[in-house]
A and B are shown apart, each in its own frame.
Chain A
Amino acid sequence: MALSSPANALVAFRSINKSFGSTQALVDLSLQGSAGSVHAITGENGAGKSTLMNLLAGVHQPDSGEISVRGQALRLESPAQAQNAGVSTIFQELTILPNLTVAENLFLGREPHRTGIIDRSLMRRRAEQALELVKCRVDVNAYCQALSVAEQQLIEIAKGLMADADIFILDEPTAALNGPEVDTLGELIHSLKTAGKLIFYISHRLEEIFRFSEAVSVLKDGRLVGTFETHELTQDELISLMVGRPLGQLFPPRNPHPSYLGCALEVSELVTSEPEHAVSFRINRGEIVGFAGLQGQGQREIIRAVAGVGPHVGGRVKKRGPGDALQNVDLSIVAVARSGIGFIPEDRKSEGLYLSLSIEQNVALGMLRQLAMWRRAHVRKSGIDDLLLRMRVRANDQGQLVSSLSGGNQQKVMLGRWLASGVDVLLVEEPTRGVDVGAKSEIYALLREFANSGGAVLIVSSELTEILGLCDRILVVRDGEITAELDGVGTSEEEIMRYALAGSTADARKEL
C-alpha cells in the first residue's frame, strides 16, 4: 500500500504494546501516517483507538514498541513534550476548564506573554480570530461553565487547530456538533491537509470518515485489522471490518409483550437540578429501557437521582411493592436499595465493588442485605458457586480478589451481587464499559434473563449499538428533557441522533 510506505511517514508506530492492569489495550500494533493526509482511525468502543492516540499525545507511555516522528524515535513522557514535538491533540473528554474564560481556555499552556505577564489584549484578539475560524459566536470573556457542550467542543477544536503543530489528533471531535458545525470542521481539516499537515481523525461516525479521510485504519480488540485507502471501501465493508461479526449475535432476543406484566417503576415530574426540566417515565416488568442521547445531556443525572446517589429537587418515584401496588420510594441511596432497586454505576471500581475483598465477600454482602445487623453472617458457599457458574465468571476460586479480575468479570460480580440480593429493578450505567466483546454478549444475556423473569432494567449508555440492540424501548434525552420515546425494534441510529441533536447551539443558549 502506497499510503504506508515508510519513506514519507511523518508518524510511525512500531510494535506497540500497552496494557492497563489485566486488560491488553494494544497488541503489537504498527501504523504509519504521512504528511498532507487525513488518516482516520476507527473501530468499536474499547478497540484501542483513544489509547493509541493518547500515546502520541503523551498522556500514556507504551509498555514496549516505538513511536517515531519525522523518522526520529521519541519517548513522549507528558502532554507538554508531545506539544513540543509538534503534536496537537483535541481530546475526546473536553479539557475546557469551567473557571477560566473562553480566551484563557484557548491559550492555556501557551498564553501570549511578556516575561511571564499575560498579554490579555493580544490574547483576546487572537481568541476572537480563533473563534471566527470555527464560526462560534461566544464572548471571549465569558466563563466556560456558562457554555453549552457544543460550544465547549468548538472551543476545544479551535484550541487544537490553532496550535503551531504538524500532527493533529482529533478524537471524536463531533460528538456534540450539529450538521453545519461539522461542515465547518470539514473545511478546517481540508485546509490543514493542503498545508501539509497530518491529521489523525478518530471517529465511529462512518459518513465523516468517508467525507474527510484518505486512509483509514481499523482497530479491533487492540490489534490492527488493516490500513486501507478510504475510497476503495464501501460503508458495509468498513462495518464488517470493525465489528468482525454480524450485530445480531451480540444481543439476545427481545421480550415481545413486556407491558402485560405491569408497571415496575414509575417516575413522575423528577427534577434533577434547578435549570433542568422535569421528566416522567415508567418501566414495565420484563422490559429493558434505555436512555440515549449525547453525552452530558442529563441522562446520567436522571438515573443517578432515581438511584438516590445524585441530587434531585423535586418529583416522585413509585415502585411495585408486595401485591403489585405502587409504593412511594424515598430517594436516598439506602431507601432505594431497601425497596429492591439495584444500581450499577459506570465506575464500578470506585463506586460499586469492594475491590480489596474476595468475590465471595462481594456477593455475600448482597445476600446479607436483608438480615438484621446482629445476625450471624452465614452464607452457603454452594449458593455463591451456583451464581458464579450461572454468570460464567472466570475466576480461579471464590476467594480471588475482585481487583484481580478483568473488567467483564468484575461487571458480572457487580451484577451477581444485586441478583443475589433479590432486587427486581436494576439501574445500570454503561453496562459494558471496559468490558471485552466476549463478556459483553454474556452481560446482555444476563440482563435479558433478569428481565424475562419479571425484572425491569433501565440503562444509560453512550454506545448507540448497545441501546439499539438490547432495549425494548428507547428514551432520547436532550438538554435534561425526554425528547422522544422510540421502539427498540425498527429504530435506526440516524433516528435517535436526529432527536438527540435536534436543538442547535442557538436553541441551547436560549434555554440558558
Chain B
Amino acid sequence: MPVSIMKSNRSGLRLATIALPALLFVVLSILSPAFLSVQNLSNINGQIAALLIVSLGQLVVALIGGIDLSVGAVLSLTTTIIVSVSPDFALPAALLAGIAIGLVNGIGVTVAGVHPLIMTMASMTFLQGLALLIHPVPGGTVPDYLAGLAWTSAAGVPAAFFWCVAAVTIASFLLSMTRFGLRLFAIGANQASAARNGIAVRWYSVSCYVICSVAATIAGIFISARVSSGDATVGAPFALDSITAIAMGGVQLAGGTGSVAGVVLGTITLGLLTNGMNLVGISPFLRTAATGLLLLVAISMQRRTVIGV
C-alpha cells in the first residue's frame, strides 16, 4: 500500500515529488520545440547547479530541524571576496569566510539558543551589508583558473554537470553512508533521545550550519566563475529558492525527514519552471510569484502533527 510506504520511510519522497518535474518536462517539450535542444538543456543545467549546491546544504540543516536564511548573502559575499582579494588567496579566503559564518550561525543557534530563523536572518542582513560595502557595483575580474572550472566541457558534457554530480555524490555519501549522516536523522527526530544515545547534539548541529555555509560558498565560487564578475546581490533569491526546492523535494522543515534525491528533484522542478516560463515568454516576475505559491503548496502537502485550536 502506498500509504504504508510513505509512513515508514525517512526520505519524504512521495508521488508528487517525482511526478511534478516529469510532468513539467513533458509539457515543456510539447509547448516549446527549443526546450529539448542540447543547448537549452545544458543551459538549464548551468542555471540550477548553484541552486542545487545551496539546497543540498540547506537539506543538511533542515534534517536537524534548522533553517539557514543566510545562504544567499553568503553566496553574494563570496563573489565579492573573489573579485576583491588577490587571485592567489581568493579561494581560501572565500572558504574561510564560509566556515566562519557557519560557526557563528551554529554557535548562535545551539549554544546561545537563538532561534535559527532570527540567527540566520541577522547574519543574512549583516552579510548583505558587508558584501555591498566590499563591492558596491557589480563587476571586477575573476581569477583565470576559475573561468575554466565553470565553462570547459569534457566529451561534450558541460562543466556545470560535473559540479552537480560532485555535489550530489558528496551529499549522498555523507547522509546515507556515514555515522554522521545517520545521527543527523536521529537528532532531527528527537534531540533529547539522540542525546540519551550518547550523541553530542551541539557539535553535530554546529557542523550542519558550517556545512551549509560552505555549500553556499562553493555555489558562490561557481557563480562568480560563470558570470566572471562579483555581484553583491546575485545571491538574494537563493535563500527562498533553496527552501522552496527542499520543501518540494519532500524535506520536512521540522527535521528528520528528507533525501538527496528529493532535493535534486525539487531543484529540477524549480529550474524547469524558470526555464519554461522563459521559453514560453512569461514575465520573470511571475516566476517569483509562482515560487511563493509553490512553497506554500509544498509545505501544505507535508504531513504534520495537528496542534489544537
Contacts and interface: CB of A to CB of B under 8 A. Distances in A.
B7 A146 contact: yes
Contacts of B199: 80, 108-109
Interface string A104-116: 1000111101001
Nearest to A163: B198
B198 A109 contact: yes
A99 B195 contact: no
B116 interface: no
Nearest to A54: B196
A309 interface: yes
Contacts of A333: 308-309
Contact of A79 (B188, B190, B197): B197
Interface string B177-204: 1111011011011100111111110000
Contact of A78 (B4, B7, B195): B195
Contact of A99 (B4, B178, B256): B256
A91 B186 CA distance: 17
Interface residues of A, dominant DSSP: loop
A142 B9 CA distance: 9
A79 B195 contact: yes
Contacts of A108: 182-183, 186, 194, 197, 199
A104 B189 CA distance: 13
Interface string B102-116: 000000000000000
A130 B294 CA distance: 46
Contact of B179 (A98, A118, A308): A118
A80 B186 contact: no
Interface in B148-200: 177-180, 182-183, 185-186, 188-190, 193-200
A111 B178 CA distance: 9
Nearest to A332: B309
B14 interface: no
A111 B7 CA distance: 25
A104 B183 CA distance: 10
A78 B198 CA distance: 7
Given A100-B182, A116-B178, A116-B179, A308 B308 contact: yes
Contacts of A118: 177-179, 182
A100 B181 CA distance: 12
B257 interface: yes
A95 B197 contact: yes
A389 interface: no
Nearest to A83: B198
B15 to A, nearest CB: 19
A311 B306 CA distance: 6
A130 to B, nearest CB: 15
A506 interface: no
Nearest to B305: A311
Nearest to B201: A78
Contacts, number: 86
B9 A143 contact: yes
Interface in B17-71: none
Interface string A77-101: 0111001000001010011111110
A97 B193 contact: yes
B7 A145 contact: yes
B226 interface: no
Contacts of A104: 182
B287 interface: no
Contacts of A78: 195, 198, 200
Contacts of B190: 95, 97
Interface string B294-309: 0000000000001111
A89 B199 CA distance: 14
B283 interface: no
A59 interface: yes
Interface string A329-347: 0001110000000000000
B297 to A, nearest CB: 22
Contacts of B8: 142-143, 145-146
B205 to A, nearest CB: 15
A57 B192 CA distance: 13
A143 B182 CA distance: 13
A400 to B, nearest CB: 28
Contacts of A79: 195-198
A2 interface: no
A100 B189 CA distance: 9
A97 B257 CA distance: 12
A1 interface: no
Contact of B182 (A111, A311, A332, A334): A111
Contacts of A113: 178-179
A7 interface: no
Interface of B: 4, 7-10, 177-180, 182-183, 185-186, 188-190, 193-200, 256-257, 306-309
11 contacts: A78-B200, A79-B196, A80-B200, A97-B185, A97-B193, A99-B257, A108-B183, A118-B182, A142-B8, A145-B8, A309-B309
Given A95-B197, A97-B190, A98-B189, 16 more contacts: A83-B198, A89-B196, A91-B196, A95-B190, A97-B256, A99-B185, A99-B256, A99-B257, A108-B183, A109-B198, A109-B199, A113-B178, A116-B180, A118-B179, A146-B4, A308-B308
